[in-house]
């Protein structure tokens, strides 16, 4: 989630999930999940329109060009940087449902880590553990 494309956090991971979904190999990863929707809302791109572009076999650079041409919300570089920085630090909302979901996801990968505070932290740990790393 911390890797950026065109300055955007979330975007590279989302494109990977989209490609995996198109290939039927996404496993537990879901394209257009609530995290992805933060990106779609920020740039003003339709998830299905983006998926159709990805399905054409375009690379990340070509997809970024398409997004820049088709986004309904034109963002300046400083807006993109601030939004991406915020996304990397953003933790769960304070409602019980979201906090419970976050805690449940964390418990699946570690019951001892007390330093996991943001969604980016949690996804990094989950990816690490999913691919053979120790919590």
Total domains in the fold of the chain? 2
Distance separating alpha carbons of residues 23 and 26, to the nearest angstrom: 8
Find the helix packing angle between 11-22 and 47-55, rounded to 10°. 60
Which residue numbers in the chain have pLDDT < 50?
A: none
The CA angle 23-42-86, to the nearest 5 degrees, is 100
- 9 lies in the same domain as 72: yes
- 51 lies in the same domain as 85: yes
Q: Specify the pLDDT at position 72.
A: 95
- 1 lies in the same domain as 58: yes
- 129 lies in the same domain as 86: no
Q: Which CA distances in Å does 49 have to 8, 27, 37, 43, 57?
A: 18, 22, 14, 13, 14
- 11 lies in the same domain as 29: yes
- 79 lies in the same domain as 114: no
Q: pLDDT for 38-70, tens place per residue?
A: 999 999 999 999 999 999 999 999 999 999 999
- 86 lies in the same domain as 96: no
pTM: predicted TM-score of the whole model, two decimal places: 0.88
- 82 lies in the same domain as 129: no
Distance separating alpha carbons of residues 105 and 102, to the nearest angstrom: 5
Q: Which domain holds residue 75?
A: 1-90
- 85 lies in the same domain as 117: no
Q: Specify the pLDDT at position 26.
A: 82
């Amino acid at each position: 989630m911390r890797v950026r494309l065109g300055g955007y956090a979330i975007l590279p991971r989302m494109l990977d999930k989209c490609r995996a979904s198109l290939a039927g190999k996404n496993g537990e990863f879901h394209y257009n999940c609530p995290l992805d929707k933060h990106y779609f809302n920020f740039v003003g791109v339709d998830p299905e329109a983006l998926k159709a572009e990805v399905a054409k076999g375009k690379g990340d650079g070509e997809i970024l060009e398409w997004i820049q041409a088709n986004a309904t919300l034109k963002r300046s570089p400083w807006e993109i940087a601030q939004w991406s920085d915020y996304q990397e630090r953003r933790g769960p909302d304070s409602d019980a449902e979201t906090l419970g979901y976050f805690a449940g996801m964390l418990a699946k990968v570690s019951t001892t880590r007390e330093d996991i505070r943001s969604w980016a932290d949690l996804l990094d740990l989950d990816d690490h553990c999913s691919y053979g790393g120790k919590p």
